[in-house]
Amino acid sequence: MGFLDRMSTVVQAKMNKMMDKIEDPRETLDLSYEKQLQLLQNVKRGVAEVTTSKKRIELQKVKLQMSIDKLDSQAKEALSANREDLARKALENKAALQAQAASLDQQIADLNDQQQKLMAAESRLATKVESFRTKKETIKAQYSAAEAQVKVTESVTGISEEMADVGMAVQRAEEKTENMKARSAALDELLESGTLTDLSGGDEIEKELAKVKAQSTVDDELAKMKAEMKK
């Protein structure tokens, strides 16, 4: 059996699951339509969820970038105060944060991709559902239960395939978002517990730089006093 045949079997199984066997084909139409509307709501929720996850990670990226910028200016400040050791430490921390930021960029790109695909799927499904609704009313009005059978089979199979497809897409997106949520929560914890803020050198490097600055102010003042006393 080829790969694509197997793929069709997988989708077929999902379709069968979705469509219950009903005697009156016109009833099948109504039931299918109800399920389509439900699925449409699901897709909308899926899109919203992916969008929320993306925003959350974008926010983390902004926070990280601020830390990176801060470390960068600290490194410069340290260098101009002739403290290469401090500058080195700041740059080392900066490199670690940059690696984190790159991973966030990748996640944002993935989520963006998911978001675009789901939105396209939503719009395709919405168009099909509307078209199905019109068709269903025509079939119900024009045919007896027996005559409707053939007409129903084609449109219901067609729409069920679309529904199986969209349903799977939503599930895949949910699984991916779930994975990222866990990673993102872990990063939030690091940010909150201060592990990353320490890494961002906020405290240690800042303190050292303040000391250096204070020292040089004292030196300046001493020099000034000495000069005045010599007069």
Rule CB under 8 A: choose which of 82, 131, 195, 216 binds other proteins: 131
Interface residues for other proteins in 76-115 (CB under 8 A)? 113
How many residues bind other proteins, per CB under 8 A? 35
**Other beta carbons within 10 Å of 214:** 10
Over the Cα atoms of the chain, what is R_g?
Answer: 31
Minimum separation from the CB atom of position 143 to other proteins (A): 17
Is the Cβ of residue 14 or residue 63 nearer to other proteins in the bound state?
Answer: 14
* Structure tokens given for 224: 């000034």
* Structure tokens given for 173: 């997106």
User: Residue 164 and residue 166: Cα distance in Å, rounded?
Assistant: 6
User: With binding defined as CB under 8 A, does residue 157 bind other proteins?
Assistant: yes
* Structure tokens given for 89: 């430490």
Q: Give the up-direction half-sphere exposure of residue 63: CA atoms within 13 A in the CB hemisphere.
A: 18
Rule CB under 8 A: choose which of 135, 184, 200, 201 binds other proteins: 135
Which listed range, 39-47, 93-101, 157-165, 219-227, lies at the site for other proteins (CB under 8 A)? Answer: 157-165
Minimum separation from the CB atom of position 3 to other proteins (A): 5
Is the Cβ of residue 73 or residue 123 nearer to other proteins in the bound state?
Answer: 123
Give me the DSSP letters along 73-117. Answer: HHHHHHHHTT-HHHHHHHHHHHHHHHHHHHHHHHHHHHHHHHHHH
User: With binding defined as CB under 8 A, does residue 193 bind other proteins?
Assistant: no
* Structure tokens given for 79: 């260098």
Residues at the site binding other proteins, with contacts judged by CB under 8 A: 2-4, 6-11, 13-14, 17, 113, 117, 120-121, 123-124, 127-128, 131-132, 135, 154-155, 157-159, 161-162, 165, 168-169, 171-172
